[in-house]
Structures are given as C-alpha cells and as structure tokens.
Structure 1
Amino acid sequence: MSDRKRRQLIQAILSAPLAAGAVLPGRAAAQGQSLPAWQPGLLDIHHIATGRGNATLMVLPDGTTLLMDAGATDDSLDVSFSPRPDGSRRPGQWIARYIQRRLKETGTQALDYLMVSHFHPDHTGDVGADAPPSRLGPYRLSGVTDVAEMVPIGTVVDRDFPGYDYPTVWTAPFATNYFSYVKSRVTKGQDVQRFRVGTDKQFVGKGHHRVPGKFGVRNLVANGEVWTGVGEGTVKMFPPLDTLDRKDYPNENLCSSGLRLDYGDFRYFSCGDLTSYTYDGEQPWRDVLTAAARASGPVDVATADHHGLFDGLSADTVRLLRPQAWMIQTWHISQPDLLQLERMFSERLYPGAREVYATSVMKENLVANRRMLSRLKSIDGHIVVRVAQDGTFNIFVTDNADESDRVKMVSGPHRSSRKSA
C-alpha cells in the first residue's frame, strides 16, 4: 500500500461518523458539550485514556470514589500511543487532575480507595532515571505515586500486601518504587490492605450522599484465588509453587485482582490483566479469567482484560459474561488482537447486539486490522459508563485531547439485561 493510500485509509477510519446523542439518566447531554456533572444516585465508571496504560475511576452512587490502577509507561512512540492530552505533564498527573474534577462534583476532596490490580508499570507507573522525587516520602513520582502526590487517598488495596513475595520477590524499579510508597503510608499510619477475595465488605460506600439504591463491590479474584459465587467462599487454582518449575510460576498478569460492581440490576466486571491462556491445554489451572467470569455470571459491561491481547478472553469467558458493551483499555501497537475482537463480536458465543470500545488505538493497528477495528464504537477518548438507579445506562466517549470533558458521542440508553429478562 502506498503512503498516500495509507494516509487516506487512516483519515477515513478516524473521521467515521459517531453515534447520535441520547438521553442521559437524570439529565440531557449532547455532543460537543461537556459531560454533565455526576449527581447523587448515579454510578459513573470512567475509563481514563492517557495513552499510557490503565486507569479506571468509579464514582459510586453515594459519591464514594474508587480508582483501579494508574498506569504510566515509558514506551517509545513507535510502539505506544502518544500521551493524552499531551506530554506537558506525566500520565499520573493527568489522571490526578481528572480525578480532581470528579471529586469536585461529589463535594469531596479525597479519593476513598485506590485498588492496584497488579504491579506492572502500565498499571502502577514506570520509574526511569528522570522520575522526580516525591515531597511526601522516599519514592519517585509516576502513575500511582503521581496521583497520591496530588490527591489524598483514604485506603490503598493491592494483591500482596504486606509481604510482596508471591510468587517471587519483585526487584524491578517500578515495583520497588510502589512498595516504597506503601511503606511510607504504613509509617504515617495511613490505611493499606491486602485484597480479600470473596468479600463484598472491603470497598464499601462512605455515605457522602444519602441514596436509596443498593450498590456493592464483590472481590472476585487475586493470586489465583477465585470466589465460588456462594457467600465468601473461595477456591485456589494455582498448584503449590514447590510442585512447579520456576519457569511455570504464575506470572504477574495471572495474579491480577479483579471485581464485580453491582448497582441494582446493573453489573460491571473488570479483572486487570487476568488471562485465560493455558499453553494450549497443558496447564489448565492458568485459565483464571474464565473462572472469575463463571463466579461473576453475566454482566452488562465488561473490560476485555489484558488490553484485548491474545491471551485474554477465552471463548468461555465471553459466553459467561455476555455483556452489552466491552471496554478495551489499549495503548500499545499490538492492542487489541483480532481473535479477541472476533470473540467479543461473535453472536455464536452469545446472541444479541453489543458494542466494543477502545481507549487508544494506534494508527498502525487500525491499518493492519481494519476489518475488525472499523467496527469499534470509539478508538480514542475517555469512556464513561453512567448508570441510573433503575439499571439503565448510557455510554459516553469524551475528548482526551484537552480537559474540557467534551462529549464526542453518546450511546444509549441501554437497559440492564437482568431488568429486561
């Protein structure tokens, strides 16, 4: 393909028409306007698109806030999306500023919870030689620590506190920097907790506003331990480490923690970089993502975990979750993968319409995989799911080229599958 034709193809994909506006539960919204402010009784789920990794902010109906990850990669622009809005600030700073805008809407000044799904830099922050030191402790600023520098955090939860030795001890700078941040919090008497699989009592509403609707967060999985779906029971999928060769130890992605967020009839599923690949059946215990999906049951919105890469969603995971909308948090040239898209769109796996969104898809991937990527509802922008008390929800894509929160498209209203049943 000539350079001229390639440019024309990219332009055609990027300029494809977006969906028309729809009615927002509780308030009207239109393309070109700023996203209407959160109101008590609404559940907002913000997939923040910095082009540098994962960050998901959940504003619960009573104003309680939960941030899941704050990634900041240092990958070069030949393989990674360009920073959004731009490179004048670090990704964690942009995330923190986004959070501050949402906190203003709730009338609060601190993030209630930070949940770190696992310790990779696209979820916690790369730390290079030029990463500046913190004013608040003996660690450097990137991703999670940049957020913590700008926004007070009530409780930090991760998969391996306090030992940080499973399955092995991390020595990479991005991990040890995060551990130094945690140690600093503990020294100051600030709350840090280990993620407790099976419970729905670790991330609880703080009651910033009184609301009648019932909502909750169920901890589904961490370190290969999965909720059974009954009470707070769990089952451990990983074999004892002393029965495995070192090369077969569970990797960091496979140890990811994940949750299901419920609001009335609405359900949302997200499990970090959890995977389902079993080395083609050789090690079936590695398919933790499908086990987490089975524990969760069907949902309305789900993330395509591990950025929609080849080892993420199994066919069974897709069948079990069967959401109306998939969210893919992308930033690398390889994300998302064609087979993953085939599964998400496949009505052989589950019937009915569904929408697929991605936060930041590189142009090179758009050209190479146009057959499937042309079906995405969005390829660049923050993706916000807004849920009303009756279970109806809209999906907004907002502009990440600046901090206006300008609505680029709206889809909905959608009705919860449980409400429709």
Structure 2
Amino acid sequence: MEDRQAPGKALVVGGSIAGLSCAHSLIAAGWEVRVIEKSLSPPSSSPTGAGLSLDPQAREIVSSWLSDPTILHDSSLPLDIELLQFVDGKKDRKIVARDDNFNYRCFHWTDLHSLLYKALPPDTVLWDHHFLSLIIPENKASVRIKVKIPHTDEMKEFSGDLLIAADGSMSLIQRHFLPGHKLRYSGYSAWRGVYDFSEDISSDTIDSIRSAYPELGKCLYFDLVYGNHCVLFELINKRLNWIWYFDAQEPDIKGRSVTMKVNQEMIEKMHTDAQRMWSSELAQLMRKTKEPFINVIYDSDPLPQLFWDNVVLVGDAAHPTTPHCSRSTNMAVLDAEVLGLCVKKWGAGNLGLALQEYQSIRYPVISRQVLHSRHAGRLKQGLPLQDNTAFNPKEASKEEAAGILHKSLPFFYKAPVSMDQ
C-alpha cells in the first residue's frame, strides 16, 4: 500500500487550528508541508478569538503532536459538568439537564493555536500569503496554487501532490468545486465576549457571578429562556467566556468572515436587553466585557463529497456547523488525524485511494454530527421543529431534556479513525 520511495508534498490553505492540525498530521505521516495563511503573523491575542472545548479523543490526538503533552492540560481548565438550566424571572433557576461526567477541557482559541504553531518545524507556515486560485494539470498528478503577498504585491506559485482546503466555512477552494453551494443561516446570531478579570479578582462582578454560578471553573453552563440561550464557562488565566444566542434576521455580511463588527450603539442596546432578560450577575458581566462581537450562526447541509482529484476539504470548509455540540474544532482535529493516517497508509502514489478512504471514514460522522448540532441549536433556542413543536425547557421531560446534552451527539464518546473501527 504505502509508497516509501519519496515523501509527498502537501499544500494547506488556512493557518487556523484546522490547517495547523493537518500540518502536524501530514508531517507525522512523513510528508513535506507548507501552510499558506493570509494573516500577517501568528496571533498573540485575538479580539474575536474566544473559548472552545476539546473532547477526550481530540485531546489525545493533539497531545501526540506536542513534544510535552502535559502542556495541553496545563493550558486549559476542566469542564467536568454540563448543566442546562431554565431561567425564570431572571432569578429563579430550574435544572433542565445535567451531566456530571462531561470530561471536556476548555481553551482560549489563541492559546491552543499557539501550542500547535510552536510545535511545528520553523517556516512551515507562510504568513501574509493570500490564496488566489488553484490549477490542476490535465494529468492530475499535482496541484498548483497562486498566492499574493499584499504588502509587496508579489505573486507566487506553489505546487504539491495534495492541496488541503482549511480555509473556513466561506472557503474559496470549496466554492471552486461547488460554486452554487450556500451556507444555511440558522435564524439566530450570537453576542460573544471574554471577560478578563486577572486584575479584578475580588470585584463585585466576579463575586456575584461566582455566587450565581458556583461551579465555574469546572462546569459548562447553559442558561435557557424562551427564544434565547446563553453559554458561560471559565478559561485559564482568569477569563470568563460567554455566548448569548438571540433570534435575528440574517444580516448582510461583507467579506468572508462570519463575525460582525459592532458599534457602540449596538453594544449599548445589547447591555439594555441583557439587563431586561438575564440575571443581574450575568448582565453585569456582559456590560463589563471589553470588545464584545457578533458571530452570525451558519451551518451547511452535508456536502456531496469531501475531495476532488488531489484536493481535499477539512474543518469548516468541509462541514460548517453550528456550535451547540462543540464540534467545529473537535471535528477539524479528527479530520486531520484521519487524513494523515490515510495518506501514510496509501502513500503519495495512491493518493486517490487515500482520499477515498478519508471520505469513507469521515463523511458518515460529520454528516450526522452537523445535523445533530443543528437540531440541538433549534431545541435550545426554542425554534420550531419539523413537526411545528418547540422545546419548552420549563416543562420538558427528563427524556426530552437529555436529548440536548452533548452526550446525545452521535459518536460522542469516540469517532472512528480507520476503516477497521
């Protein structure tokens, strides 16, 4: 199966967590890798970066790419508990569902990205390189891409055996093969923020939020009200991550980002609405958070396929998903691991077989997880389901409530990484 004569050469478009994960997995498979990223430099902080959580399987994979696996643990906090509660009258809370064996860990996006980036060989990532187009020669033995370096207006070409599209939910490479494919707007967007209290440890804001949410530091909280829900959990280095999902008409997004710039008037309205809707503790936390931003929530029906010739999609380019089951980063890590194992198994000389096996392993998993995450989001947001009913958190049965916990996700405990599983 494996062709050991020469290492394959892979080009990865996108230097976010999905792209860096692919770089690690392909390097582990013995391939040469170049990552093309449009950002000017590695992020040291990110005003639009926020919290994410990794499941045990993804953590095991990422740890295998790091020289010191304990760093992953030391850069995160535990999420041992998932707790959903209905908030009635801003003060009263009723537990809707609880999982005391959640076993996730939470990271700030920048922290996880930094760990992955620093563990790569030097010069793996080419910063300030904007992908423009791709060319597959008639013999389909390679793939070429054109890029531009904006600050010099220099144009470059790179070629490789394999092109990996890790360029996000609005992927230009995906659009090349599926020009008519569109993202599906969920019907709601989300205010997001990270509150840094490292210099404000004993403030009224922190004292009150810890009193209202006593298991912060080990718990993933969901507050549910009719037509809205809010997520809250603690990050390492004294930061609190919150996400408030609210019903809204689809905004007119400019460019290729699903984050929206907000102005002071929008922020002030959000503060006013939070004071009316949420507890005083949560509303105060939102008011104290600097630079909140809006994520527009999209996903996609499963794509018809994940690869064309020697071009393959990974991460959000392959499966845009709503965030309600913590899938985006976890699926990207699994994509990378499976892709690396497949190309190692088959070698550069049998790339078509490797990509076919990658698709056979990942497609059933990601399709079910994307659709389940969509369903979970509609339940939590109280939106109508196919039978025109809506989830009522105040009156839900134990069985109904259990269906919105993460552990109801298909392949929650483990997703296959080979055809033998």
* TM-score, structure 2 as length reference: 0.27
| Bigger Rg, which one | 2
Q: Which has the higher contact order (CA 8 A, sep 6+)?
A: 2
Higher helix share: 2
